[in-house]
Amino acid sequence: MARFCPLCSGSSGNSAYVGSAEGGVLVDAGASCKAILTALAQREIPLKAIGGILITHEHVDHIKGLKVLLKKLPIPVFGPEKSMEYLAQNDLVPPGADLNPLPSLGFDLGELYIEHFETSHDSLGSAGYRIYTPDERKIGIATDLGYVSQEVHAGISGCDLVLLESNYDEGMLITSPYPYSLKRRIKGNMGHLSNDFCACEAKELVKTGTTRVVLGHLSKENNLPQLAYETIRGTLEEAGCRLGEDYLLSVAPRCDPGEMMIL
């Protein structure tokens, strides 16, 4: 049976486990190695179950713990080509680390089959993932995106579970003490996804068969977990989607592991 567990999610660090009863992968390693190992232990995920790491992009909140983690767990790392080059050139991984640019087509990693799609973000490279488990479940990861492109929508449509960015509330961002340049960057097409735009995409996902939506990468300063939750739930309710019957909705915790979801 497929398994998904957010280990941490937010601007201070991002990491999630995706797999099956036999093994899986980490998506990002943006917290400290100690924090990641602690989260894995709390959810009884053994290190030997992790067959690789998928990196969405090279920003620190997605790779912070990678170097130390690879010293303890020398497994292959996959990510956008320019992000992999950046990691190697800036001493962000151990010497000789097994870095792999994402192939143009999908690939096998242990018992999982991995596809990727490009996301719009102000990094050297940025990718989301569609992960197939042995029991034919599909799990989508789409965070750090300024908008939902056709490629992103196609990449996550029809997934059983999707981790989708719900970074900021429009009103909170407008009134925040952030400088205008930073507000503009967050709201731009290469920034982050708002609660409202997340809600629009969540509605389309549920219509295409997604039964679990996990909200991720919430801003500490410009969002609240309950506000994000109610924004998405309200939009889905208006569309006739029934919470607990058509779909389940949750928010990935910022610093602690979320629940282990078994599909």
Segment 54-113, tens digit of pLDDT: 999 999 999 999 999 999 999 999 999 999 999 999 999 999 999 999 999 999 999 999
Q: Which two tokens stand for residue 146?
A: 């300024």
pLDDT of residue 225: 98
Backbone angles phi, psi at 113, to 5 degrees: -115, 130
pLDDT of residue 70: 98
pLDDT tens by residue, 168-216: 999 999 999 999 999 999 999 999 999 999 999 999 999 999 999 999 9
Q: Which residues of 29-58 are buried (b: 16+ CB within 10 A; e: fewer)?
A: bbbebebbbebbeebebeeebbbbbbbbbb
pLDDT of residue 82: 97
Task: Identify the CATH class of 3-262.
Answer: alpha beta
pLDDT band at 254 (very low <50, low <70, confident <90, very high): very high
pLDDT of residue 21: 80
Q: Which uninterrupted H or E stretch holds 133? A: none
Mean confidence (pLDDT) of the chain: 96
- Extents of the domains making up the chain: 3-262
pLDDT of residue 22: 84
Which one, of 121, 144, 124, 148, lies nearest residue 11 by Cα?
144
Question: Mean per-residue pLDDT for 238-253?
Answer: 97
pLDDT tens by residue, 131-157: 999 999 999 999 999 999 999 999 999
Helix (H, G, I), strand (E, B) or coil at 82: helix
Which one, of 233, 10, 20, lies nearest residue 113 by Cα?
20
Helix (H, G, I), strand (E, B) or coil at 216: strand
